[in-house]
Copies of this chain bind each other. A is one copy, B any other.
Amino acid sequence: MPTLQDFQTERATWCPGCGDFGVLNAMQKAVINLGIEPDDIVVVSGIGCSGKMAQHFGAYGLHSLHGRSLPTAQAVKLANRKLTVFAAGGDGDGFGIGMGHFIHAIRRNIDITYIVMDNHIYGLTTGQASPTSDEGAKTKTSPYGTVEAPIAPLQLALAQNCGFVAQGFSGNIKQLTTLIEKAVLHKGFSFVNVFSPCVTFNKVNTYEFYKSHLVNLDEDPSYDPHDRVQALRRVAEAGNVVVGLIYEDPHRQSFEESLHGYPETPMVHNDLSLGEADYETILASFR
């Protein structure tokens, strides 16, 4: 069984106190709890502070382009279905430039886990408004306050009928670990949005803020995470400031399960050469 030791890399370069440490921690704990070897994991990330996850996690990594973790990660998974594949990135990465891929990853439903470190700010580029910045947020690019409505990630995922939707908080690593474990176990695309405070550039959406405002649906026995429309209502009512397993549809078929001809064994082990008979059949089609 792998231990935390096996994932050790050089110390992460995030600012001390950055929420992303918590996410890293929870992700590592989750795979350790699930007994997954680091060599069997790929973390595909976008660009941003959050994007450094691919380097810090200690598995195979693909630190791709800003906004492009999802298409890249989906193909990694298809190429080798035995791998546990994470896509990871920030709110700008995932809900700004990457928004289109997000919605399409949901509909495609390939069995990967998508972790967004949602700090409501562009961290790496030192503090511009992000798509999830609160309305009126003053940032370097919104000196007069933002006027766009923030992206509603959970509601969008629910609207597009995402098979697994959860939201966590890097201030609650225990719950986050559990959510990530469930997400990894879910067959199909799983989305875990994480409130991961940027201690350097966001003085509003802080640990304290979340600690005092978060509604924990996991602790609400009346909440049923299998009712999509109810989930939408609850998230809307709470102004998105909820954590917990928001929704799961355990029955939705994954892309891999549905796709005609998709092989049982990892594609990466395919034999690449065509035999004489293959050539003969194909050539015949051109005669």
Binding site for B on A (CB under 8 A): 96-101, 103-104, 106-109, 131, 144-145, 147-152, 155-156, 158-161, 228-229, 232-233, 236, 252-253, 255, 258-261
Contact = CB atoms under 8 A, between A and B. Distances in A.
Contact of A160 (B144, B147, B151, B233): B151
Given A107-B131, A152-B161, 17 more contacts: A99-B103, A99-B104, A107-B148, A107-B150, A108-B148, A109-B148, A144-B261, A149-B160, A151-B160, A152-B160, A155-B159, A156-B156, A159-B159, A159-B232, A228-B236, A229-B233, A232-B232
Contacts of A109: 148-149
A265 to B, nearest CB: 20
Specify which of A101, A145, A155, A253 lies most central, judged by the most chain B CB atoms within 10 Å of its CB.
A155
Contact of A151 (B107, B148, B232, B255): B107
A73 to B, nearest CB: 16
Contacts of A252: 149
30 contacts: A97-B100, A99-B99, A99-B100, A99-B104, A100-B100, A100-B101, A103-B103, A103-B156, A104-B131, A106-B149, A107-B131, A107-B148, A107-B150, A107-B151, A108-B148, A109-B149, A145-B260, A147-B255, A147-B259, A148-B255, A149-B252, A152-B159, A152-B160, A155-B159, A155-B160, A156-B159, A156-B160, A159-B232, A229-B233, A232-B232
A260 B144 contact: yes
A123 B252 CA distance: 29
B159 A158 contact: yes
Nearest to A149: B107
A236 B148 CA distance: 27
Contacts of A259: 147
A151 B100 contact: no
A202 to B, nearest CB: 19
Contacts of A233: 229
Contact of A236 (B147, B152, B229): B229
A97 B147 CA distance: 26
Contacts of A106: 149
A151 B103 CA distance: 8
Contacts of A98: 100
Contacts of A103: 99, 103, 151, 156
